[in-house]
A = this chain, B = another copy of it.
Amino acid sequence: MKHTISALASNRPGVLADMALMFKRHNLNIRSLAAGETENPDISRIVISLDGDSEEMERLTRELAAMDVVIQVDDLARREFVDRELLMVKVRMDRESLSQLMQIFEVFRASVVGMGQESITVEMAGDQERVEGLIKLLKPFGIKSLCRSGMIALKRGDD
């Protein structure tokens, strides 16, 4: 089962390495990881999606929370979070397929960010379901290249 964990940690060299080593020790494969700056330059937020059972996840969450550099750990399985991912995808395009593609982009509110002779590149932000929905619809046209940011998340409500 896929789990997503969000951690706040000190922003200093080696923190990601220490975390990644812990995942390696547990032999967990990271599906996606997004580490970025927060409103406080000393603190970064790391959101990790990985496969594992609930027991493993609990052990991992405890281990993460026990790290010196880690300030807070949240399991995003709880529905208190808005989660989003950024997708960029370059898809094969010709005169016949262009109008179909534009319709799909409109439905998914994907924005065109580049156009070549035989391809078109769009970006879209959405939850995982929408990101995967768009990829599935574009596949028959021929995906030339694709990049996903990994999930990021913020708590719902005012906190």
Q: Which of A's residues lie within 8 Å of B, judged by CB? A: 11-14, 16-17, 19-21, 23-24, 27-39, 44-45, 47, 82, 84-86, 88-90, 111, 113-114, 116-119, 121, 123, 125, 135, 143-150, 152-159
* 7 interchain residue pairs of minimum CB distance: A36-B148, A17-B20, A86-B86, A149-B149, A116-B158, A17-B24, A39-B146
Contact B86 A47 (CB under 8 A): no
Cβ-defined contact, A23 with B29, below 8 A: no
Cα distance A82–B113 when bound, in Å?
8
B37 touches A35 (CB 8 A): no
In the assembled complex, the CB of A90 is this many whole angstroms from the nearest CB of chain B, namely 6
